[in-house]
Amino acid sequence: MPNQPTFPGLRDAMKKKQTRRELFLTEMDVVVPWGRLLALIAPHYPKVGPKGGRPPMPLETMLRVYFLQNWYALSDPMAEETLYDSEAMRRFAGIELGDDRIPDETTILNFRHLLERHGLTEAIFADVNAHLADKGITLRSGTLVDATIIDAPSSTKNKARARDPEMSSTKKGNEWYFGMKAHIGVDADSGVTHSLHTSTAKLHDSQVWDELLHGEESSVWADKGYVSAEREAAFAGPGKAWGVMRKTTKGSPLHPLDEQANRIIAMVRAKVEHPFRVIKRQFGHVKTRYRGLAKNRAQLFTLFALGNLFLVRRKLMA
């Protein structure tokens, strides 16, 4: 006689091994400051359904689904589909099949638009960082500065028959890229991203500097692209360290002392790559999802806020 089917929840409860997805969601459930983020969004969230219809989905459910979208690089339709497919994701969102409505792609889209419209993703980023500061994790002593290219679709096989006009091309090494840039300022001690700025890809990294500093740095660290005698002179002072990679004029060898300084700087600033690795490898954000800088900028604030929590999750859980 064939085995009788079991209910998904019961079958999941009988499992002896926790999957990587379940472990990740369990950890993030613990470290996300749900209370303060929900309080941040609640004043902007509708209390009644449109035109007196059925009540809106619970705010916490929608915020959890939105975070799932960002952690797993899901489009609005794929977020809805995955909620039907994954018991772990439904449990994280607080949804039971048969008992609760699963938000459809339009509901998910409308929630994202609400966050964009009210600038709430930037507020989420700031609130997460305030939470980490309250926990004593960010020390605000030194800042690591860097930028990364986020590729955008270059195909013209779309409804507009054109590439995104707000994106641009740039050359890095011998390769050409089309898209945008994320410029970040990272706390040198904790590795937490405290500042974020976005631009088209063609803007040189060195053009974004002041926006990435919090103003209380005792040291700054960056690669050769940020070399500036004017900035170095302005930053000079007692207890200040200028950790920007040294470079020389074309065709001249670098002085041995500068080579030694560069090796030290490279070891310190290696930590600035960690947030980029989390966003691109852990969360799978290797291409822009939307057209235009504004929507992609909004998403990046959420991604870096969640990336900060992921990077220091062990400290928060301890």
pLDDT recorded at residue 140:
78
pLDDT recorded at residue 2:
44
In the chain, where the domains are located: 8-118, 139-288
> Residue 180 in contact with residue 293, Cβ under 8 Å?
yes
pLDDT recorded at residue 10:
55
pLDDT recorded at residue 100:
73
Side-chain-side CA neighbours of 7 within 13 Å: the count stands at: 6
Alpha-carbon gap, residue 258 to 136, rounded angstroms: 35
pLDDT recorded at residue 147:
97
pLDDT recorded at residue 11:
58
Residues in the chain where the model's pLDDT stays below 50: 1-6
Look up residue 243 and give its two tokens: 């950790």
Alpha-carbon gap, residue 170 to 172, rounded angstroms: 7
pLDDT recorded at residue 17:
79
Q: Rounded to whole angstroms, what are the CA distances from 255 to 241, 252, 261? A: 19, 9, 10
**Residue the block writes with tokens 């995104």:** 164
Alpha-carbon gap, residue 308 to 259, rounded angstroms: 32
> Residue 217 in contact with residue 141, Cβ under 8 Å?
yes
pLDDT recorded at residue 157:
65
Alpha-carbon gap, residue 108 to 62, rounded angstroms: 7
- Rounded to whole angstroms, the maximal C-alpha distance in the chain is 82
Phi, psi (degrees; rounded to nearest 5) at 105:
-60, -30
pLDDT recorded at residue 187:
96
Q: Rounded to whole angstroms, what are the CA distances from 20 to 14, 96, 282, 318? A: 17, 21, 12, 20
Centroid of chain to Cα 129? 12
